[in-house]
Amino acid sequence: MRCLTIAAKNLRRRPVRSALTAAGLAAAVAAIVALVGVAESFESSFLALYTRRGADLVVQRRGGAVQLSKGVSLKLGEQIRGLPGAGQVIGGLMDMVAFEDHDLFMVIVNGWEPTCPVLDRVKIKAGRRLQAGDKDCVMLGRVLAANLGKQPGDTVEVYAQPFHVVGVFESFSVYENGAVFMLLDDLQKQMDRPGQVTGYIVQADPPGDPRAIDALRSRIEALDPEIAATPCAEFVASLNQMRVTRVMSWVISAVACLMGAFGILNTMAMSVFERRTEIGAFRAMGWRTWRVVVLIAEESLLLAGAGSIVGVAGGFVAIFALAHWHVTSGLVQGDLPLRAVCEGLALAAVMAILGAAYPALRFARLAPVEALREG
């Protein structure tokens, strides 16, 4: 028999209480895994939008709290294309719209030039791609088309104006699958941003070479002091939306963690204090204080372990459900990032230690003779 066996069997004395505590903990872990997972997936998917297109730098106007509200001129794109060490340069305008009738509140709208390679790289599932000369036409991502119930030939209302759906496409990106593509001219008109794009994604020549990227970055930023050319990962991490998502997920996770810790503390405190004389007997038999503390900590960690397994599974189910719920399916990928699992497990361990600390420390200070005294 190991000390852990005693801890495990102690938890079986009050199976309902142990199960409820583990369930509370599982809910906290599930919340952490789901929130951190969504935030992680949000960020990694966004980064993939750039990296999978071979982009090395994102060029945008400096400052400002909301990146979507800023713009750079099309002329800047021409200047970048003319720089030595510049490879492919793709400019695009981006906005967010809502389809309130369908409970879709954060749908990305991209405006691309007709020759933009992005339009060539998505897979056309139905209809055709946007072409030069299309006016008031859109392509819908596969998920958005399904959520809106639209197909080529239908009309969809964007910016309170009817747009003709010419095609339905599929992309590697969850965002693009939930997005609207239209030609740049149309979007500039809708956003009242003539001659502007939100930014450029720029490939260095040779692509991915750090020295070439650094050199190109300096050259681009020398064009206009108001312009920042930022490596993709750095750019994505600096996005306010990402920061807010990350902070929100951590704040909610911290609250969930605190609630889980209180739940486990309550259970452990009740469990230890109702076994006071029994633990006193252990001390009488020569058990050292630290061994009693370890026993209490093991019970707490076992509860946390059970809660973690259920919680990780619950978090995965939550992410899967969000990825398939029409309201969020255009924003959330269905995968479970390993980091979210690790963070959920780590926080469960923290909850277990916090929950065990008070009863364990209180008991550590209690003399065996006091513990043995009934009542």
Partner 1 sequence: MSGSESDIGPRLVPLLDVRSVCRTYDDGTVRALKNVSFSVNRGEYVAIMGPSGSGKSTLLNLLGALDHPCRGEICFEGQSLASLPDLDRFRARTIGFVFQSFHLLPTLTALENVQIPMFEGPLNRRARVKKAEELLCLVGLSHRLKHVPQKLSVGERQRVAIARALANDPSVLLADEPTGNLDSRAGAGVLDLFDQLHRQRGVTLIVITHGAEVAARAERTIWIRDGEVDLLQRTGGAVTRCAV
Binding site residues, partner 1, CB under 8 A: 1-3, 5-6, 9-10, 12-13, 277-278, 281-289, 291, 367-369, 372
CA torsion, ordered 139, 142, 143, 146, to nearest 10 deg:
90
Task: Write down the least CB distance from residue 278 to partner 1, Å.
Answer: 6
Neighbours of 82 (CB within 10 A): 10
Nearer to partner 1 (CB atom), residue 2 or residue 149: 2
Task: Write down the least CB distance from residue 280 to partner 1, Å.
Answer: 8
Nearer to partner 1 (CB atom), residue 266 or residue 289: 289
Task: Write down the least CB distance from residue 368 to partner 1, Å.
Answer: 5
Nearer to partner 1 (CB atom), residue 241 or residue 277: 277
Nearer to partner 1 (CB atom), residue 85 or residue 368: 368
Task: Write down the least CB distance from residue 294 to partner 1, Å.
Answer: 10
Task: Write down the least CB distance from residue 281 to partner 1, Å.
Answer: 4
Task: Write down the least CB distance from residue 2 to partner 1, Å.
Answer: 7
Nearer to partner 1 (CB atom), residue 42 or residue 282: 282
Nearer to partner 1 (CB atom), residue 51 or residue 277: 277
Nearer to partner 1 (CB atom), residue 212 or residue 296: 296
Task: Write down the least CB distance from residue 25 to partner 1, Å.
Answer: 21
